[in-house]
Structure 1
Amino acid sequence: MSVLRLIWLVCFCSVVAQHARSPVLDRILRRRSHNQIQALKDQLGINNQEAINREMDSAIKQLQYKYDFLLNVIRKLSQEQEVLNRELDEQRQSKRWVEATLGNGKRYRFSLEKKTWHEAKESCEKNGMRLASPKTQRDVTLLHQKLRELEPESGFWLSASDVGLTNTDFKWLGGEKLPLDSSLWEKERLDLDAPLNYGETAKSCVFIRKILDDKLYEEKCSDFTNFICE
């Protein structure tokens, strides 16, 4: 076959091939190409979503770890705060009270805070105690001696008062009378035939004071002073 004949045959086949592709074949080829591209996109999308999900799971685990860590820190801090609060309360209590067991075997609390008689009574009862009731001269003297070791110069409330009484007698909180002629009173009190006059509604309550004799004295129950619990 000559060269010219071969060239002619190639050109003829090319022309035939170009004219042989029908529109239907073109649509099929285009659709197949589109489907392949879409399938590739879908696969890429799935892969991307899986990667995103893995990253989110990892981030959630890290956040959960940090949350658990911080929660544990908060719990420990709360426990330490409770311990510090208890220690602080104990320190405050130690500054507000002086406790002592005296020669009569009784345990007393000497308050370093000033309150009215009614407030003092309530404070003692909240701590499972009562205002002190020294019913003998020995008890009064022991308390008076202890007061000399403390800083407050003011008086200390005891439980006796004329609260709720209409006559001239006083009573200890236990109900036992403290007569006006009792030797426990200071001398000027013994010289009186009636309680001091503080007005129609004011009542008298009993106290002792270290700068005075080891005797009982009376003052308005509404006055603020220290107190003794037993």
Structure 2
Amino acid sequence: MRRLARCVVLLMVAGGGFCARAVADHQEATTDKCTHALKQNWTELSNGKKYFASDEYDNVEWSVAKGACEKSGSGLASIEREEEMQLLLDAFPEIGFHASYWLSASDVGRRAGDFRWGGGPDLPKDSPWWSHDQPSTFRPGRETCVMVLANKLHDLPCSSTHRYLCQLPANCKSS
């Protein structure tokens, strides 16, 4: 992605042919991914974001859930604001009661307990979104992933099985 950003700058400054092709290839790949993703049944929330919830028969490990979302042109959902959590609960009421869903947050590839949303922003251990006594299962040498159940976040071994919630990238728009 850094190489693409440099190409965009070079393209604007010098009009480089290689960079023009790199930018065009990236835009084409993004368009193809979005076109494929938009063929699924997405739920659009009032914040403009689109989500897809796996059904009750799709209980899988976190890495499988992540792969399923990526295969559909999306990623596991990241919750950035309290309002977003409420919108998700309103759109998918089963999250608030009996169903557990994998989200993008994990400490995979990082220090135990260093949770991040999909490799991006931190998910602090003192966040009010965590359920009582959570996070709790992180230990050195054991990766843990985050799921939502009963309106709260829980950390569990990534090998446990749950449903999953995918989020469509912001640059994918319905036509």
TM-score computed with the length of structure 2 as normaliser: 0.63
What letter corresponds to residue 100 of structure 1 in structure 2? T
Note the C-alpha offset of 1:219: 1.4
Post-superposition CA distance 1:96-152 (Å, at most 9, x none): x863111221110101111110000011111110000011111112212223258x9
Q: Find out whether 1:143 has 2:80 as its counterpart.
A: no
Describe the SS at the equivalent of 2:136.
Answer: coil
Rg larger in structure: 1
Note the C-alpha offset of 1:229: 0.5
Partner of 1:183: 128
Distance 1:216 1:161, change over 3 A: same
Note the C-alpha offset of 1:220: 1.4
Matched-pair identity in %: 36
Return the match for 1:219 from 153, 156, 161.
156
CA distance in 2: counterparts of 1:227 and 1:167, whole angstroms? 22
Is the contact between residue 43 and residue 52 of structure 2 (CA under 8 Å) also seen in structure 1? yes
Partner of 1:165: 110
Distance 1:217 1:197, change over 3 A: closer
The two structures, once aligned, show a CA RMSD in angstroms of 2.4
Return the match for 1:197 from 128, 131, 137.
137
CA distance in 2: counterparts of 1:143 and 1:164, whole angstroms? 28
Return the match for 1:102 from 45, 50, 55.
45
* 1:115-130 superposed matches below 5 A: 115-130=60-75
CA distance in 1: counterparts of 2:139 and 2:119, whole angstroms? 26
Return the match for 1:153 from 98, 110, 114.
98
Describe the SS at the equivalent of 1:181.
Answer: coil
Q: Give structure 1 regions of 4+ aligned residues with deviation exceeding 3 angstroms.
A: 197-201
Distance 1:119 1:102, change over 3 A: same
Is the contact between residue 110 and residue 228 of structure 1 (CA under 8 Å) also seen in structure 2? yes
Partner of 2:148: 208
In structure 2, list runs of 5 or more residues that go unmatched.
Answer: 1-38, 168-175
Distance 1:100 1:129, change over 3 A: same
Is the contact between residue 136 and residue 184 of structure 1 (CA under 8 Å) also seen in structure 2? no
* 1:77-96 superposed matches below 5 A: none
Describe the SS at the equivalent of 1:178.
Answer: coil
Distance 1:149 1:200, change over 3 A: closer
Greater relative CO, 1 or 2 (CA 8 Å, sep 6+): 2
Partner of 1:229: 166
Is the contact between residue 66 and residue 104 of structure 2 (CA under 8 Å) also seen in structure 1? yes
What letter corresponds to residue 206 of structure 1 in structure 2? V
